[in-house]
Structure 1
Amino acid sequence: MKKVLLLISFCFSQIIWAAESPFLGIGIAVNDIPEKLSHYQTILGIKQWQYIDLNVEGGAIRFARGEFKGKSVDLIQPLYGKTKLADFIQQRGEGIFHLLVDEKYLKDKAAYKLAALEKASSDISHIPNAKPYQQQWLDSYDTLGVNLSFTAAPPTKQHYWGVADLAALQKDAPLNTASIAQIGIVIESAEKTALQWKELLGLSPWVFVDFKPPMTTDGQYLGAAGSGYSEVHVGYGQWFDLQIELLQPVAGPTPHRDYLRRYGDGAHHFSLGRLLEHDQLLEYLQANNVVLQMQSDNGGPNRTASYMGSERQLGWVLEFTKAFKGLGSLKIVKQIP
Structure 2
Amino acid sequence: MTASVEQAVAQNPGKLGDNVVVHIALVVRDINKSAKAYADLFGVEVPKISVTDPLEKTRLQFRGEPTQALAKLAFLRLENITIELVEPVGGPSTWREFLEMKGEGVHHIAFRVKGMEENIALLEKQGGKLIQKGDFIGGSYAYVDLTRQLGVIVELLTSANKK
TM-score by length of 2: 0.81
CA distance in 2 between counterparts of 1:202 and 1:317 reads 28
What pairs up with 1:109-258 in 2 under 5 angstroms? 172-214=13-55, 216-222=57-63, 224-226=64-66, 228-258=67-97
Aligned residues: 152
Q: Which residue of 2 aligns with 1:128?
A: none
Distance 1:216 1:188, change over 3 A: farther
Where does residue 59 of structure 1 map in the other structure? none
After superposition, what is the alpha-carbon deviation per residue over 1:226-279, rounded to whole angstroms, capped at 9, x for unaligned? 2x421111111111221111111111001111111122211111111x322433
1:205 CA drift (Å): 4.9
Amino acid at match of 2:13: D
The AA in structure 2 aligned to 1:293 is: I
2:14 is paired with a residue whose SS is coil
Quickly say closer, same or farther: Cα 1:212–1:318, change in 2 above 3 A.
Answer: same
Runs of 4+ in 1 over 6 A off after TM superposition: none
**Which AA in structure 2 matches 1:243?**
T
Could you tell me how far apart the structure 1 residues matched to 2:11 and 2:113 are?
22
Decide which structure has the larger Cα Rg and report it: 1
Amino acid at match of 2:65: A
1:292 matches 2:130? yes
**Cα shift at 1:283:** 2.0
Aligned to 1:281: 119
Whole-Å separation in 2 of the counterparts to 1:183 and 1:235: 12
Alignment partner of 2:20: what SS?
A: coil
Q: Tell me what 1:306 maps to.
A: 142
* Cα distance in 2 between the residues matched to 1:231 and 1:256: 9
Q: How far did 1:309 drift? A: 1.1
Query: Is this contact kept in 1: 2:27–2:104, CA < 8 A?
Result: yes
1:267 paired residue number: 106
Letter in 1 for 2:79: F
Mapped to 1, the partners of 2:89 and 2:143 lie a distance apart of 19
Q: Which amino acid aligns with 1:281?
A: N
Flag the structure with higher helix content. 2
Counterpart residue identity of residue 253, structure 1: P
**Match 2:152 to one of 301, 313, 316:** 316
Cα distance between partner residues in 1 of 2:154 and 2:148? 11
User: What amino acid does structure 2 have at the position aligned with 1:231?
Assistant: L
Q: 1:286 to 1:298 in 2, by over 3 A?
A: same
After superposition, the CA RMSD in angstroms is 2.3
| Structure 2: gaps (5+ residues) | 1-9
280 and 247 in structure 1: CA distance in 2 versus 1, 3 angstrom threshold: same
* Distance across 2 between alignment mates of 1:266 and 1:304: 23
Contact 2:58 2:134 in 1 (8 A): yes
